[in-house]
Structure 1
Amino acid sequence: MSELYSIPVEQAVLSSLMDHEQGSGDYIEQLTESDFYATRHQVIFHHIKNQYSKGEAHDSLVIWEMIRRNAQDAQHCTEEYFLELTSTIARFGLLGTHVKKLKDLAVRRKIQDLSKTITTIANDTESYTSETAIEKVQALAAGLDGKVTQNETCSVGDVSKDVLESILDRHQKIHAGIEVKVGVKTGFTELDNKLDRIDRTDLVIIGARPSMGKTTLAQNIMLDLAVNQGEVVLFMSGEMSKEQIMERMISGVGQISLKKVRSALFDEADAGCIYQAVKTIQQCPIFINDKASPSLADIRREARKVKQKTGGRLNAIVVDYLQIMTPPEKSGNKVQEIGDISWGLKKIAKDFECPVIALSQLNRSLENRQDKRPVMSDIRESGAIEQDADIIMFIYRDEVYNKSSKDMGVAEIIIGKARNGSTGTVRLATDLSKASFSDLSPEYYSHMEGL
């Protein structure tokens, strides 16, 4: 078996970095101490990188002086060895090749170490469940590509040119009657007017107390995305089974009572509605996973599977609901756990470049207020969610609390946060018996204006 390190390559890299201080910065930024196998080489590179980070010289004389002053470092790297190293003539033109080889060997060593760690995790049945073991292994494996990922710093001049080109391109296409997709829509006219659009990297939170219809609203948005916008959607349902979800979808699309669908007590006309609804749904690019208490790792895995099945397409992920998800690490601190989940969902949205729409339960304390319309602080363990989310919407139906409400069949969608849109309240018609939200009729607005 070949050795997963090369002392000559490590020596060539270090010698080049010290001999050619000018022009070596990009390579220094790519490397870490662990990329070097020999401890004395790790010591030398530590001081090279430290000097570079401070913007100070890092030639061989300076680096040796730094090592000499530290008794522990001097034990690992003697003066005799350092003189031998610096007498090595390394060609700067080959530095890129040597760095690539160094990184490759380092990654292979990490894989070897990870295999040992995986064995330890697999055998530790007390500290890890099978689910948390998978998440731990996936997290460890995520850092094995050997690349230093960083967002490039750009001048505003460069960015402005790109943005202007994009704006002008969209402008021309719009005037030419060409459809331009820059985000996704909810499918509700007034709501979309407020939000403008949901961007491809947005985390959207829909919060409500039980019986307000948050799952129904999410499913309505999901169906509009698939049926009317041609988007691919992954629905992670931690609460309902695939069959329950499908019954609701049939009820909503077919506009037939959910009770009739569930009981199978329907007449011939209803049967026709059910058949047509199923026919429509069968054409929808919607994928459903009903694993109880899904984890972030589960969502990532299923998202990758959907992209494989659809030729790389995934346009939205719906999660029902946030508080029953399995956190990456169970700390016993619910606020911390929910924070880890919300940040993880935001990262999934960015990594997969598709919005994540997550449902959220609200605190019971709002039931004690005279005005029971939700506010931001009503989100359970709300701090991190408020920060991570791009859009936060609440559902309020007055009829739930007031049986003689003048707003029977009307839901208020309260936009508490819209990073790129407008906050405020939008009203939708609702019929939860048919699993439906819809735009209100013009007659409703005419009536409201006359009051």
Structure 2
Amino acid sequence: MDTLNVSANEFTYNIYAEQCVIGSVLADPSILPSVIEKVSPNHFYSEQHQAIYRIIQTMFTNNIPVDIVTVLNEAVKLHIFESVSEGKRYLAEIANTLPSTENINTYCKIVSDKFYIRSLNIAAKSIIEEIQSGEEDAQILIDSAEKKIFDIRQGKDIRGLDPLSNAVLEAYDRLGKITGEDREKYIGAKTGFTLLDTITSGLNKSDLIIIAARPGMGKTSFAMNIATNVARRNKDTANEKEVAVFSLEMSKEQLATRILSTEALVDSHSLRSGRISNDDWVKLATSAGYLSTLPMYIDDTAGINVQQMKAKLRRIKNLGLVVIDYLQLMESTSRSDNRVTVISEITRQLKIMAKELDVPVILLSQLSRATESRSDKRPVLSDLRESGSIEQDADIVLFLYREAYYNATSAKQNIAECIVAKNRHGEMGTVELVWDGKYTRFSNVDFNNQQPPTP
């Protein structure tokens, strides 16, 4: 317990290892790409070392030669050293005491390990302080503790504010990645619906995406189509990401049956009634084998709350997408009897969860009956049931609408509209999709006959 009262003991940092990392890159700048992948400025305990390494990182990003002279010049400009002579003496000392650049991986590991130990020390003290304050209930304390540990696992600095320079470097690095040869690894996950992905740029990390529709429009099927498409795409790449589905309405078996119908192209009614032909059994067996290989998980816990979801999701190592069916069946830790307040609290927590886990979260929602009283029954944002802050918290809002549902003589019997009613990242519009209720399946309209999105 005594260690919790110590702000920084020798087991939480190693100044010599930090000097060896900086000295190595100054002696041999060719190792910088490898070092930058392993160590970040916030991994250094010494603020002076943080500042020097940040200079080196920035110079590397801007393709400026890195050596003692150029780094010293920038360090003096930023007043890291009081004088040129002091800076020259310190950097020379680092270079002269460097054992060998061949051990750079070991130096990096020591610096990185000390950062994590330091972060755990800070987190442990914070957890104990929250417990001793006596102001929170157990569930909130557990969630807070789990978040702190999760942040450490993700390599985040839990100490607080981060310099703008770090954010700019991260943004610049991401721009390089999404325009490079491996851009598919870094851009938003693809829904599998071409024009929809064009409008939204895919499912972007930390986004809360609402899919809402009146009953019978196929919102669960649409969400499962997207989840399966993402899992399928991830399975076929080296950067495999896992998909988690929380089904609060349907059981795992019911949901799996629906996914099987879509994948095997076997009539969903036949699966429910048990009237399955020999040919269908063959297709089902093939599809079941394939679906079993997808990185996809289903949880059908009834009345689950956001804190319980986060606890489960944090145990998934390579999480890539979360789907929740649906909002109005979720429980809240709020003690309010006002349903609008409760829903607002849940959507706010889900947006925070998406940001903390750095993954897109698809949330299904019901719509109010207001659409039924209008001549044009296409949903609008005000139709979100118990809307509260749903519209405000969401980054993207998608509505599903099928004219044939209301008009049996419609010329668009198998056409569904996906209406992008809100898009924090760009334009809005409407994309037409083919709906096949027999297989609970949405698909792209034939490219040759496809019209541009309706503004």
Q: TM-score under structure 1 normalisation?
A: 0.66
Match of 1:22 in 2: none
- The Cα shift of 1:166 comes to 3.4
Superposed CA deviations along residues 375-431 of structure 1, whole A, max 9, x for unmatched, are 011111224111111110000001111111111011000001111132010000001
Aligned residue runs from structure 1 range 46-445, under 5 A: 107=126, 110=129, 113=132, 135-139=139-143, 141=145, 149-155=159-165, 159-160=167-168, 162-173=170-181, 179-230=184-235, 231-305=241-315, 307=316, 312-442=317-447, 444-445=449-450
Amino acid in structure 1 at the alignment position of 2:207 = D
Structure 2 CA distance for partners of 1:160 and 1:240, relative to 1, 3 Å: same
Instruction: State how far apart, in whole Å, the 2-side matches of 1:415 and 1:233 are.
Output: 23
Q: Between Structure 1 and Structure 2, whose CA radius of gyration is higher?
A: 1
Structure 2 CA distance for partners of 1:263 and 1:336, relative to 1, 3 Å: same
Contact 1:430 1:438 in 2 (8 A): yes
Structure 2 unaligned spans of 5+? 8-46, 48-117, 236-240
Structure 2 CA distance for partners of 1:187 and 1:106, relative to 1, 3 Å: closer
Superposed CA deviations along residues 7-49 of structure 1, whole A, max 9, x for unmatched, are xx89xxxxxxxxxxxxxxx9xxxxxxxxxxxxxxxxxxxxxxx
SS in 2 for 1:382: coil
Structure 2 CA distance for partners of 1:161 and 1:352, relative to 1, 3 Å: closer
Match of 1:79 in 2: none
Instruction: State how far apart, in whole Å, the 2-side matches of 1:206 and 1:104 are.
Output: 37
- The Cα shift of 1:228 comes to 2.3
Contact 2:148 2:158 in 1 (8 A): no
Superposed CA deviations along residues 52-73 of structure 1, whole A, max 9, x for unmatched, are xxxxxxxxxxxxxxxxxxxxxx
Amino acid in structure 2 at the alignment position of 1:366 = T
SS in 2 for 1:173: coil
Structure 2 CA distance for partners of 1:283 and 1:143, relative to 1, 3 Å: closer
Contact 1:242 1:290 in 2 (8 A): yes
Superposed CA deviations along residues 351-390 of structure 1, whole A, max 9, x for unmatched, are 1111100000001111101101000111112241111111
Contact 1:247 1:261 in 2 (8 A): yes
Amino acid in structure 2 at the alignment position of 1:241 = S
Contact 1:205 1:357 in 2 (8 A): yes
Instruction: State how far apart, in whole Å, the 2-side matches of 1:227 and 1:142 are.
Output: 30
- The Cα shift of 1:232 comes to 0.8
Contact 1:399 1:407 in 2 (8 A): yes
Contact 2:123 2:148 in 1 (8 A): no
Structure 2 CA distance for partners of 1:106 and 1:420, relative to 1, 3 Å: closer
Superposed CA deviations along residues 258-296 of structure 1, whole A, max 9, x for unmatched, are 011122211111111111110111011111000112100
Structure 2 CA distance for partners of 1:270 and 1:109, relative to 1, 3 Å: closer
Aligned-CA RMSD value: 3.3
Contact 1:200 1:355 in 2 (8 A): yes
Q: Aligned residues, how many?
A: 332
Q: TM-score under structure 2 normalisation?
A: 0.66
- The Cα shift of 1:181 comes to 2.8
Structure 2 CA distance for partners of 1:103 and 1:317, relative to 1, 3 Å: closer
- The Cα shift of 1:180 comes to 3.9
Instruction: State how far apart, in whole Å, the 2-side matches of 1:261 and 1:432 are.
Output: 14
SS in 1 for 2:334: coil
Contact 2:127 2:145 in 1 (8 A): no
Structure 2 CA distance for partners of 1:254 and 1:144, relative to 1, 3 Å: closer
SS in 2 for 1:184: coil
- The Cα shift of 1:199 comes to 1.0
Contact 1:4 1:109 in 2 (8 A): no
Structure 1 unaligned spans of 5+? 11-25, 27-98, 122-133
Amino acid in structure 2 at the alignment position of 1:204 = I
Give identity over the alignment, percent.
33
Instruction: State how far apart, in whole Å, the 2-side matches of 1:327 and 1:389 are.
Output: 18
